Amino acid sequence: MSKLKHIKNIEKLYKTIIILCGFLALLLIIINLREKTKPTPKVYTPPENLVSYTGKIYHIFFHSLIIYPELAFSGIDGGQSFKDYMVTRSEFKKILPKLYENNFILINSELLYSLDINGNMTRKGLMLPEGKKPMILSIDDVNYQTDRDHMGFARRLVLDNAGNVATEVITPNGQTVVTRDGDVVPIIDDFVALHPDFSFHGAKGIIAETGFDGVLGYRTNIRNYIGREKDIQDITKIVRKLKESGWQFASHSYSHDPIFKENTITLDQLKYDADKWDREVKPFVGTTTIFIGPFGQIFREEDQRKEYLLSKGFNVFYGVGMDLDLRYFPTYLEMNRADIDGIRLNQYSGMLKEYFDPKEVIDPARNN
């Protein structure tokens, strides 16, 4: 090789190195800018001055979120039941900032009452940051039914690499991924991390658990299957993390049978259902005093079925109703919850005005 050619090759190599170094520097600048714009959790400073709140207590509830509307809304009936009773991830992510802007603050339901040593209940005075409106949030049917695995919903709750509660999701192309926005729980967790004043003393919400298709997406209702012991270990860790991070659990019955809705469930059937919840769900989620009625069914005062649930240790009963009716009895309380779903968004949007404007959150996928 001639000396001149050798020099030219060195020059080409030098220019290539310069270009690569410039590209690397640009890449580092972009990464740095992204890190600067990435939202970081804020440090929560508890308010020094609280004021007595005597207004309305709010309670809203959701079902599991629709992650992929193109799957959920593609059934034989166009996914009508999902359109009616669920909201999409997009809608939920738009709803939260609206609630925050309208000065709602998440509270623990235990702030509503006091109990003496004999179990007698009295209404407790509520002290909140000035201008805030108390809101309880609950999620129904957090068991991730098997038949919804490939229908646009999360598959189950898991812990991510950072040890936080996340969602395992099957994408439309069949991939299984772990995400932080696959359902209400991780979305709320992340929103509160960015807006700690949206939560009073770290409260998040209530998870209403059935048992007929397992717990939190794990098929614990099946006695013998490979991997059951590992699933039990995982559930234990997830439940512990949920409770540590401000979540509560409630019974939503074991079966969620339509006989609750029809009010034809007998006392013996209720005993069987409640006892089965005790055997198959309680060991995982722990003791709870909250009963969230399936289809809103919480039975009337002095009904033998209500008396039985009271004997099981329940003293907080949540039904369904936009009126948010809250009543105190000698040893328990009852309260209606506002259902936030497709029917409300589309057909009765006026009922949601004090929470948010449905027109600003509704997902265009509903009309495709």
Helix (H, G, I), strand (E, B) or coil at 47: coil
The predicted model gives 4-9 an average pLDDT of 48
> Which secondary structure element, helix H or strand E, spans residue 61, and what is its range?
strand 58-62
Strands 165-170 and 176-179 turn out to be antiparallel
| pLDDT reported for residue 26 | 41
pLDDT, one tens digit per residue, over 147-160 is 888 899 999 999 99
How does the average pLDDT of the chain come out, rounded?
89
The predicted model gives 165-171 an average pLDDT of 97
Q: Which two tokens stand for residue 70?
A: 């193109």
**DSSP code of residue 144:** -
pTM summary value: 0.87
Tell me how far apart the alpha carbons of residues 157 and 295 are, in angstroms, rounded to a whole number. Answer: 24
Q: Which of 43-47, 191-195, 219-223 has the highest mean pLDDT?
A: 191-195
CB atoms within 10 A of CB 291: 29
| pLDDT reported for residue 135 | 98
Helix (H, G, I), strand (E, B) or coil at 217: coil
**DSSP code of residue 24:** H
Q: Report the interhelical angle of 267-280 vs 304-311 (nearest 10°).
A: 20
| pLDDT reported for residue 349 | 87
pLDDT, one tens digit per residue, over 56-84 is 999 999 999 999 999 999 876 668 999 99
Tell me how far apart the alpha carbons of residues 151 and 170 are, in angstroms, rounded to a whole number. Answer: 9
Q: Is 140 exposed, middle or buried (0-12, 13-18, 19+ CB in 10 A)?
A: buried
Asked if residue 345 lies in contact with residue 362, where contact means CB atoms within 8 angstroms, the answer is yes
The residues with which 219 forms a beta bridge, in sequence order, are none
7 — pLDDT class (breaks 50, 70, 90): very low
Strands 154-159 and 133-139 turn out to be unpaired
Tell me how far apart the alpha carbons of residues 305 and 209 are, in angstroms, rounded to a whole number. Answer: 20
The residues with which 218 forms a beta bridge, in sequence order, are 215
| pLDDT reported for residue 13 | 47
> Which secondary structure element, helix H or strand E, spans residue 177, and what is its range?
strand 176-179
Asked if residue 217 lies in contact with residue 154, where contact means CB atoms within 8 angstroms, the answer is yes
Tell me how far apart the alpha carbons of residues 238 and 166 are, in angstroms, rounded to a whole number. Answer: 9
Q: Which residues contact 43 (CB under 8 A, 6 or more apart)?
A: 196
Tell me how far apart the alpha carbons of residues 274 and 233 are, in angstroms, rounded to a whole number. Answer: 24
| pLDDT reported for residue 49 | 85
Q: What phi, psi does 38 have (nearest 5°)?
A: -70, 130
**DSSP code of residue 232:** H
| pLDDT reported for residue 47 | 67
pLDDT higher than 50, residue 233: yes
Q: Which residues contact 199 (CB under 8 A, 6 or more apart)?
A: 105, 106, 192, 246
| pLDDT reported for residue 24 | 43
pLDDT, one tens digit per residue, over 338-347 is 999 999 999 8
Q: Which two tokens stand for residue 136?
A: 């309880």
Poorest-pLDDT segment among 68-77, 201-210, 227-236, 243-252: 68-77
Say how far residue 41 (Cα) sits from the centre of its chain.
19
Question: What does the radius of gyration of the chain's CA atoms come to, in whole angstroms?
Answer: 25
Q: Which two tokens stand for residue 214?
A: 């397992």
The predicted model gives 305-325 an average pLDDT of 97
pLDDT higher than 60, residue 9: no
| pLDDT reported for residue 367 | 81
143 — pLDDT class (breaks 50, 70, 90): very high
Q: Which two tokens stand for residue 125?
A: 């005075």
Tokens 């006026």 -> residue: 350
